[in-house]
Structure 1
């Protein structure tokens, strides 16, 4: 079964691959059913019964992943019709209805947990990202994610970061080069590592991770257009900004917390990156409730 055209279009507009999303949904549904059926639903719900259910926020936050939830209902089948009431990236209050779904009751209940698992996690990422965006308001800095994502869910989680107003770092090892300390050690120094990458991949963006101001200067003089200041204090970041003097974009990373964000942004760096957006975020509480049963 392929996804309906409207669902496919919504996923593509979000920058998501519909085939990937469908495969992920099918795998998660299979995990839930484990080769069998929803025994509770089959026992209690007539096969042809129709129902209307609403997906609503149970706490304040930023929603994301609604097209993915809609795709989940489509994969389960049961002639489910979905009406979206808000767009991804919308700030919602407790009680806000984000989706209304209409179809066979059994289909709604089989899809419920998978749809919620995905939408709640993505909404949690979007909510956390929006908090960082708010902390950086008034500065030139943007918040970026990392590759510290849930295995096989990277594109969804990075989409949620965008929905929250953040900026994506590289999505894969082949997208751009990030020279880290182990690469520097293996190549024999920052300059040697940069030259090796530039010679091998002349068209790629090259970012260099450094652990002191001298390293930042060396990276810039080697030709780096982006320098990652790893575990710098606010004072060290300010010193690096002055030393680089606009010759490259600067990113700070490593143990950052939300209460430090404004101070780092005030130094003049371009990005703050944090794995906190994806690796340990708390899911936003959303719930699905049947509000009407037809033919009973």
Structure 2
């Protein structure tokens, strides 16, 4: 997330608390000259993520606050571990406390969930990739957190890569092969996407993709297929188009991801690492 974009996001996050009147409690009860030292500590096991963003929240909201990271994004944390020290006026620290802890907890939750999926497929050739099933307004943060947890970026949005899904295919009518081939060629020439991917629901559709000229698509998404069907698709790919990447997706959870990885797919898209990640608990202790 580039600085101007991050700064505008921070303004929105803080506005949720500040409203039009600011922090009424702090303004009424805390003198401006009271100085404190705060320590952000983890209250749970996990992977920390979001420390640079927390520093920017502190700097953006109140330039009088000084921050010192005691960990780096991607570090494993446990209860009681210090991850950052903040020094400055209590009246500046209190209004941003909840915003920075929420952001840190959310990003760390995504990183932690991702790390567990990545650990589950260790030793296979499969990588874990994210999806667009993210929290509105937090996509860039959550996708950064996925990388901190060891996962890989799929697409930032609709603007950087192509994914031809079932509803796109439904609009093509009977001219599947010609439409996909022509559209792919035009897209590469005019839009320069990072990749072109197509979704298939069964082996008949998969065979139709294998029949396309080499280079038409880069990745095939195997959507909601059982393990036997995925293995069959991998075997057919290996026989006919070894350079074509296969990505499994749909209802994949921590208990099943290892078995999916062992089918031989190259990528596993997991929406749960963002849409179902829990928040890692952090606290800000002041003295």
* TM-score, scaled relative to structure 2: 0.93
Does the residue aligned with 2:134 lie in a helix, a strand or coil?
coil
CA distance in 2, matches of 1:107, 1:42: 10
Partners of 1:43 and 1:101 lie apart in 2 by 23
Aligned residues: 276
Please list, as runs of the form range in 1=range in 2, the aligned pairs for 1:5-44 lying within 5 A after superposition. Answer: 16-44=1-29
- Aligned partner (choices 160, 168, 172) of residue 145 of structure 2: 160
**Segments of 4+ moved more than 6 angstroms:** none
Q: Secondary structure at the match of 2:71?
A: coil
SS of residue in 2 equivalent to 1:201? helix
Aligned to 1:3: none
Q: Which residue of 1 aligns with 2:234?
A: 241
List alignment gaps of at least 5 residues for structure 2: none
Task: Please tell me whether the aligned partners of residues 53 and 101 of structure 1 are also in contact (alpha carbons under 8 angstroms).
Answer: yes
- The aligned counterpart of 2:31 is 46
Structure 1 position 193, deviation (Å): 3.9
What whole-Å deviation, never above 9, does each CA across 1:11-57 have from its counterpart, x for those lacking one? xxxxx211111111111111101111212212222111111001110
SS of the residue corresponding to residue 284 of structure 1 reads coil
Post-superposition Cα deviations, 1:161-204, rounded to whole Å, max 9, x if no partner, equal 00000001111112111111111111125424422321321243
| Alpha carbons of structure 1 residues 190 and 140: separation in structure 2 relative to 1, 3 Å | farther
* Alignment equivalent of 1:198, drawn from 184, 188, 191: 184
- Note if 1:180 corresponds to 2:180: no
CA distance in 1, matches of 2:229, 2:79: 42
Cα contact 1:55–1:98 (8 A) shared by 2: yes
1:8 maps to none
For residues 277-296 of structure 1, what are the structure 2 equivalents within 5 Å? Answer: 277-290=273-286, 292=287
CA distance 1:167–1:77, change in 2 (3 Å): same
Could you tell me which residue of structure 2 aligns to residue 79 of structure 1? 64
Corresponding residue SS for 1:259: coil
Of 200, 210, 213, 2:200 maps to 210
CA RMSD of aligned residues (A): 1.2
- Tell me if the contact between 1:217 and 1:244 (Cα under 8 Å) persists in the aligned partners: no
Q: Which 5+ residue runs of structure 1 have no aligned equivalent?
A: 1-15
CA contact (8 A) 1:177 1:197 kept: no
